[in-house]
Amino acid sequence: MWIERKVLAEEIPAVAALDTRQLCELLASLGFPVDGVAAREGTEVLDVDITPNRGDAMSHHGIAREVAAKLRQSEAALPEAKSAEGKALLEVRLEADACPLYATALLELGNGETPADVQAFLRCLDATPKRLAAVDASNELLQRYGHPTHAFDADAIQGAVSVRLARAHETLVTLDGVTRTLTALDLVIADEAGPIALAGVMGGEATKVTETTRRVFLESAWFDPKTVRAAARRHSLHTDASHRFGRGADPAMAQVARDLLVARLQAWCGAKLMGAWTVGSLPAPSAPVDLTQELLVRVAGEPLVLADAAAALKRLGCTVQIEQDRLRVGPPTWRHDLTIPEDLAEEVLRLTGYEHIPSVLPPLEGPPESLSADYMKRQTLARRLAHLGFHQTVTYGFVSPEMDRQAPGPLGEETLDQPSERVLSNPLGQDYSLLRRSLVPSLLEVAKRNLKQGQCEVRLFEISPTFRGLPDGPAESWTVALAWAGEKWDADPESKAVRVKAKHLHGVLKDVLKPGTPQKVQPFEDDTILTAEFPLSDFKDPDARVIPTYTAHSRFPAVERDLSLVTPLALSWQAMHRAVQSSLVDSALTDLICADLYQGKNLPADTKAWLLRLTFQTMDRTLVGEEVDAWVVKALTAAESLGATLRA
């Protein structure tokens, strides 16, 4: 985000003594690298890179707070502005847990527009001033203090205002002029006629402030970050407000931002405050986190004094109590990312300076622990299935609701699955919104894709966790699924490829399943794809010790010879194979296959062409051409005895 140097210096005067290079280095040391510097409106602006977990720093006040902590300066104070609260002039109902606090005010606008210096400030930050006091004041407060607010045309609101979940297929025309169809997961601001804003994301066209607006209804609320983030992603609406709320805004700023907005409208256009009121209450504060001396030293790599760590955390706005060998730390309302002791230790090091962390080698702590029995079982089973001709696949653990409905029923006599308990709270998209309860749909997709690309036979397996939705949340269990698709080819060159049948998969399962396990094979796609799925516990345990049969390998090269023969059409491969092999009993023949079979127009009637490939190899020497040629002659003689001739 863009930060204007002059405004930052107003927040923390010590910045004025730093040149641009020093300020950029200081921000980088705090974890906010500067991607660029630009000159605009007679001042410098910095393009500061802020990580997603630091929504509190997405404002001039937030950056100033960090700089003040690093420079050991007093924290930048918020301007004093307090609106006397009274009774509600317009009913506001909070009907969703995603909005526990809603601060508002009703004002009658006077004459006047946005001051020139504020317009210049907004232009510096790539924000176009609207020359409407209510709109520009909201945008200026967002950039200065990081809390989104919104102004509605009060005379366009029909009846009471409610913060609720949208009803499926409700529509809202947002400020960008797009009509959006809402889902039951979207949080909206609504009046009696329907939605007037997508909460925390964008306002609605019907209630926007214009030149003719005479009364404004202000909104300064706190919305659940996950709800806002998901709605912005669903509707492809990534706004300044959704970036702040989606990363976690400061709930304590809701009333403060409302009061600052009221004060600006009073100062800029002589607005008259008709009433201010707040509905709901602040969310429960974060639980204190204990930071022990031992953990702090382990993370830092050197001894650190608890009192120094406490002082650093206090500069960040934390409440700190020193208790013997630990600190009990209460994170400030704007730091939702401080939840575990390691977070606090990292903050201490960040303010102390990473350059002071010593470079030391990690200690060596003995041999690693032995691998678990379950892991060894999965590895052994994977090798066994690979030896049986199956290819291991790895697919996404998240599926769409449509794929989830294709899944077979639960494995065995399991507890009934509750799909709602497997829904991700912050999915990558609709196609990845559920933890899968079966591996079969994913394997089916892979199998169909391979068949579409021309594979005649596809053998796949996957060993991965699946999930069941239980009242207490999703339960994970390891599952094995196999898929066999296409046509199976036998060794005989003249045999036709046959469609894979259940008996083929049953033969594989018999080899790997525990005795007595029922074999459930399910056909899909008109029986062209067969699948089977079992809990990992149904498979045989790996042997404690496996001693493979030793097979000797020759150190001398193998020799291949091809015979292209024209044979009678009625001659079978079994007869040819038997005759040639019998003639070479005393030779070094190691393999005999039919490498090609041809039946075409260039052959005599009632004949076919075979390409026989003979492989010779010995264990004790290199073969010479004369003896190999003699063996080939014997093979040809045996073939000719069956009516075969050399093909011209």
Model confidence pLDDT, tens digit, residues 512-553: 889 888 888 888 877 788 899 999 999 988 775 556 677 888
Could you give the residue range(s) of every CATH 3.50.40.10 domain in the chain?
Answer: 92-280
Burial 449-462 (b: 16+ CB within 10 A, else e): ebbeeeeeebbbbb
42-46, 74-78, 145-149: segment of lowest average pLDDT: 74-78
C-beta atoms surrounding 290 within 10 Å: 14
CB 23 within 8 A of CB 70: no
Q: Which residue has the higher pLDDT, 347 or 602?
A: 347
Residue 106: helix, strand or coil by DSSP?
strand
Positive or negative, the CA dihedral 152, 155, 158, 159 is: positive
Q: Which residue has the higher pLDDT, 253 or 541?
A: 253
| pLDDT the model gives residue 409 | 61
pLDDT digits (tens, 9 = 90+) for 115-132: 999 999 999 999 999 999
**Which phi and psi (to 5°) does residue 104 adopt?**
-150, 170
Distance CA 306, CA 296 (A): 9
Distance CA 523, CA 526 (A): 7
HSE value, Cβ hemisphere, 13 Å, CA-based, for 386: 9
Percent residues over pLDDT 70 in the chain: 95
Q: Assess if CATH 2.40.33.10 describes domain 373-538.
A: no
Between the CA of residue 572 and those of 95, 103, 427, 513, 564, what are the distances in Å? 80, 90, 60, 38, 16
| pLDDT the model gives residue 414 | 47
Could you give the residue range(s) of every CATH 3.30.70.380 domain in the chain?
Answer: 559-646
282 burial (CB, 10 Å; 0-12 / 13-18 / 19+) is middle
Distance CA 315, CA 453 (A): 62
List % helix, strand, coil for the chain (3-state, nearest 5): 35, 25, 40
Distance CA 11, CA 155 (A): 37
Helix (H) or strand (E) holding 50: none
Scanning the structure block, which residue is given the tokens 């977070």?
343
- Distance of alpha carbon 589 from the chain centroid: 56
Confidence of residue 413 (pLDDT cuts 50, 70, 90): very low
- From the list 481, 484, 515, 487, the residue with the least C-alpha distance to 502 is 484
| pLDDT the model gives residue 74 | 82
Q: What is the mean pLDDT of residues 178-204?
A: 96
The CATH code that applies to domain 289-355 is 3.30.56.10
Percent residues over pLDDT 90 in the chain: 69
Q: What is the average pLDDT score of the chain?
A: 90
What superfamily in CATH does domain 559-646 come from?
Answer: Ferrodoxin-fold anticodon-binding domain (3.30.70.380)
| pLDDT the model gives residue 318 | 95
Beta-ladder partners of 329 = 289, 320
Q: Secondary structure of 429-482 in the HEC alphabet?
A: CHHHCEECCCCHHHHHHHHHHHHHCCCCEEEEEEEEEEEEEECCEEEEEEEEEE
- Output Rg (C-alpha) for the chain, integer angstroms: 37
Between the CA of residue 645 and those of 15, 603, 604, 635, what are the distances in Å? 97, 12, 12, 12
The class level of CATH for 92-280 reads alpha beta
Could you give the residue range(s) of every CATH 3.30.56.10 domain in the chain?
Answer: 2-71, 289-355
pLDDT digits (tens, 9 = 90+) for 448-503: 999 888 787 899 999 999 998 888 888 999 999 999 988 765 556 665 545 667 78
Q: What is the mean pLDDT of residues 39-67?
A: 93
CB 157 within 8 A of CB 73: no
| pLDDT the model gives residue 412 | 46
Q: Assess if CATH 3.30.56.10 describes domain 2-71.
A: yes
* pTM of the complete model: 0.62
pLDDT digits (tens, 9 = 90+) for 385-406: 998 889 999 999 999 998 888 8
Task: Classify residue 395 by its DSSP letter.
Answer: -
Q: Side by side, which strands form the sheet with 272-280? A: 150-153, 215-222, 101-108, 272-280
DSSP string computed for 330-353: E--TT-TT--SHHHHHHHHHHHH-
**Which phi and psi (to 5°) does residue 137 adopt?**
-65, -40
| pLDDT the model gives residue 240 | 94
Q: Indicate whether 160 pLDDT > 70.
A: yes
Q: Indicate whether 418 pLDDT > 90.
A: no
Could you give the residue range(s) of every CATH 3.30.930.10 domain in the chain?
Answer: 373-538
Q: Indicate whether 362 pLDDT > 70.
A: no
**Which phi and psi (to 5°) does residue 495 adopt?**
-75, 145
Confidence of residue 367 (pLDDT cuts 50, 70, 90): confident
Q: What is the mean pLDDT of residues 346-372?
A: 80
| pLDDT the model gives residue 499 | 61
| pLDDT the model gives residue 548 | 64
